[in-house]
Chain A
């Protein structure tokens, strides 16, 4: 079993190295050998500070971060509103149907998300079905398109991440004891009351898990805002991409990555840690 322990250290070391790569390379201009950084700590420190100062000084970066949060939270809410009825339907379906309905939810997930985003372009273009019907309803000027607006990004993220919301929700709802609802009905509760006071609180773990599964990757999303959003749909992932590929500013993109780590990844891990502790405590009591 020892060799196994060694064996699993490898991926762990890779990840560890990567996380170090950020903090070490975060201050190195591209093409400077790694070894030099150890010798002239002073210059690296100065560069380092300059990068972060640039992040704070330019409102563009803070706006991008806020925009990422906006896109992610609106889309998470849409996923929840759309996913909850589906998950509920799956949970209440007879056993044979259940598997089929679940497979139908998972199926799009196995096809490339880039291609699914591409599929949306056709619907959101000026001559696509959705834009046309919105024009018909008088919500859009003729000739305008949903594509390259914030709405397109919301639709894109919701569409791509919907299965991540449905699966944990359905798993929670399947385990739910529906006799409780019958009891509530016997005691004179209206369906809506029974849902609000019984189903909703009991399915909260599923709601939480689903929302996290959607929200976290949505914050760092690059492809969807880039392909479906307008030029103003600058999310933090898109900013990093541009700094790196278009402006070739490696140190600055590394600084953005470190900022991402602090603003997105660490809160998530902390939350997960606290949540696990809470679950463990509850299990003990």
Chain B
């Protein structure tokens, strides 16, 4: 039963990887081993440009989301009951339960309104990035918040008692302690942004097509072998990244176990 479940998870991906090495022009028939789709992908300016754009947007929005998410995560877990806490908490979960189409449309309407009043932001990469920050910051908040609530506050209190200024406590004590959570949050935000088609489609302008938008327009036209190659590359990169993270986590746990004995 379990094997069946895992087969279900991996069969589609494996079949795409297999076909990405097929030499036939039809994406569904096997035409001998060849690397020609990878070559085609490497020469496809359009795809490369879109990929670069997506990576830039994802990096900026993930970084901003970590900054904002850390701030609200801290506030929710350390400040006790301040006015507006309940509203903040509610507002925080709102983007998580909002359907993408809704978030996309409302962000766009907001940007159009702002543009009419202030002449900013121009629709394009800026607006996509801003919308992605809104989308991802709440996920970072949840990650940071759960880390903070499971963490002992006495270290911070001790530093305060010894006369450290609040910002110093934050940078010297809190930040190193929550660093793993920040990294996890950043990666999550990065992936979410890189993955998003719907919100980007709503908030993009002319000449700011992201990779998912390009893939979607190609997929709507039918299966294209180039996308097979692209999928395979992404899967391999992710697999490497996850394995490295897994090994590092494993090592850290072993080190911790040793240091406790």
Chain A interface SS verdict (over half): helix
In the complex, residue of chain A having the shortest beta-carbon distance to the beta carbon of B28: A127
Q: Does B19 contact A (CB under 8 A)?
A: yes
Q: Does B185 contact A (CB under 8 A)?
A: no
Q: Does A54 contact B (CB under 8 A)?
A: no
Find out whether the CB atom of B9 lies under 8 angstroms from the CB atom of A105: yes
> In the complex the two chains form, what is the Cα distance from A127 to B13 in whole Å?
17
Find out whether the CB atom of A35 lies under 8 angstroms from the CB atom of B117: yes
Least distance between A161 CB and chain B CB atoms (Å) = 11
Q: Does B250 contact A (CB under 8 A)?
A: yes
Q: Does A34 contact B (CB under 8 A)?
A: yes
Find out whether the CB atom of A112 lies under 8 angstroms from the CB atom of B212: yes
Chain B interface SS verdict (over half): helix
Least distance between A279 CB and chain B CB atoms (Å) = 14
Q: Does A269 contact B (CB under 8 A)?
A: yes
Which residues of the other chain, A, contact B8 by a CB distance below 8 angstroms? Answer: 82, 159, 162
Find out whether the CB atom of A119 lies under 8 angstroms from the CB atom of B12: yes
Q: Does B88 contact A (CB under 8 A)?
A: yes
Least distance between B30 CB and chain A CB atoms (Å) = 12
Q: Does B2 contact A (CB under 8 A)?
A: yes
> In the complex the two chains form, what is the Cα distance from A160 to B2 in whole Å?
17
In the complex, residue of chain A having the shortest beta-carbon distance to the beta carbon of B138: A11
Least distance between A67 CB and chain B CB atoms (Å) = 14
Least distance between B61 CB and chain A CB atoms (Å) = 12
**Which of B10, B105, B234 has a CB less than 8 Å from the CB of A115?**
B234
Find out whether the CB atom of A237 lies under 8 angstroms from the CB atom of B99: yes
Most chain B CB inside 10 Å of its own CB: which residue of A119, A217, A272: A119
Which residues of the other chain, A, contact B90 by a CB distance below 8 angstroms? Answer: 269, 273
Most chain B CB inside 10 Å of its own CB: which residue of A34, A125, A128: A34
List B1-52 residues whose CB lies under 8 Å from chain A.
1-2, 5-6, 8-13, 15-16, 19, 27-28
> In the complex the two chains form, what is the Cα distance from A197 to B238 in whole Å?
40
> In the complex the two chains form, what is the Cα distance from A261 to B105 in whole Å?
12
Least distance between A31 CB and chain B CB atoms (Å) = 8
Which residues of the other chain, A, contact B173 by a CB distance below 8 angstroms? Answer: none
> In the complex the two chains form, what is the Cα distance from A159 to B238 in whole Å?
18
> In the complex the two chains form, what is the Cα distance from A103 to B212 in whole Å?
25
**Which of A86, A106, A240, A244 has a CB less than 8 Å from the CB of B2?**
A86
Find out whether the CB atom of A11 lies under 8 angstroms from the CB atom of B195: no
Find out whether the CB atom of A261 lies under 8 angstroms from the CB atom of B102: yes
Contact with A along B156-170 (1 / 0, CB 8 A): 000000000010001
Q: Does B246 contact A (CB under 8 A)?
A: yes
Find out whether the CB atom of B93 lies under 8 angstroms from the CB atom of A240: no
Q: Does B106 contact A (CB under 8 A)?
A: yes
Q: Does B171 contact A (CB under 8 A)?
A: no
Find out whether the CB atom of B72 lies under 8 angstroms from the CB atom of A123: no
> In the complex the two chains form, what is the Cα distance from A261 to B103 in whole Å?
10
Q: Does B74 contact A (CB under 8 A)?
A: yes
Q: Does A192 contact B (CB under 8 A)?
A: no
Which residues of the other chain, A, contact B81 by a CB distance below 8 angstroms? Answer: none
> In the complex the two chains form, what is the Cα distance from A83 to B250 in whole Å?
25
Q: Number of contact residues on B: which range applies?
A: 35 or more
Stretch at the interface among B120-128, B147-155, B175-183, B213-221: B213-221
Q: Number of contact residues on A: which range applies?
A: 35 or more
Find out whether the CB atom of A119 lies under 8 angstroms from the CB atom of B68: no
Find out whether the CB atom of A114 lies under 8 angstroms from the CB atom of B72: no
Q: Does B116 contact A (CB under 8 A)?
A: yes
Which residues of the other chain, B, contact A8 by a CB distance below 8 angstroms? Answer: 68, 71-72, 74-75, 88
Which residues of the other chain, A, contact B242 by a CB distance below 8 angstroms? Answer: 103, 106-107, 110
Stretch at the interface among A180-188, A199-207, A252-260: A252-260
Stretch at the interface among A18-26, A42-50, A55-63, A135-143: A18-26
Least distance between A190 CB and chain B CB atoms (Å) = 19
Least distance between A127 CB and chain B CB atoms (Å) = 6
Q: Does B59 contact A (CB under 8 A)?
A: no
Q: Does B230 contact A (CB under 8 A)?
A: yes
Most chain B CB inside 10 Å of its own CB: which residue of A118, A123, A216, A272: A118
Find out whether the CB atom of A11 lies under 8 angstroms from the CB atom of B105: no
Contact with B along A259-270 (1 / 0, CB 8 A): 011001100110
Find out whether the CB atom of B28 lies under 8 angstroms from the CB atom of A85: no
Contact with A along B204-233 (1 / 0, CB 8 A): 000000001001100110010001001100
What are 17 A-B pairs at a CB distance below 8 A?
A4-B170, A11-B69, A12-B87, A18-B107, A18-B134, A21-B109, A21-B110, A22-B106, A85-B2, A99-B246, A99-B250, A111-B13, A118-B223, A121-B223, A122-B19, A125-B223, A220-B100
Additional 14 contacts, C-beta under 8 A, given A1-B79, A237-B100: A4-B74, A21-B109, A30-B112, A104-B6, A104-B9, A106-B242, A108-B9, A110-B238, A111-B234, A114-B195, A115-B227, A122-B27, A159-B12, A269-B94
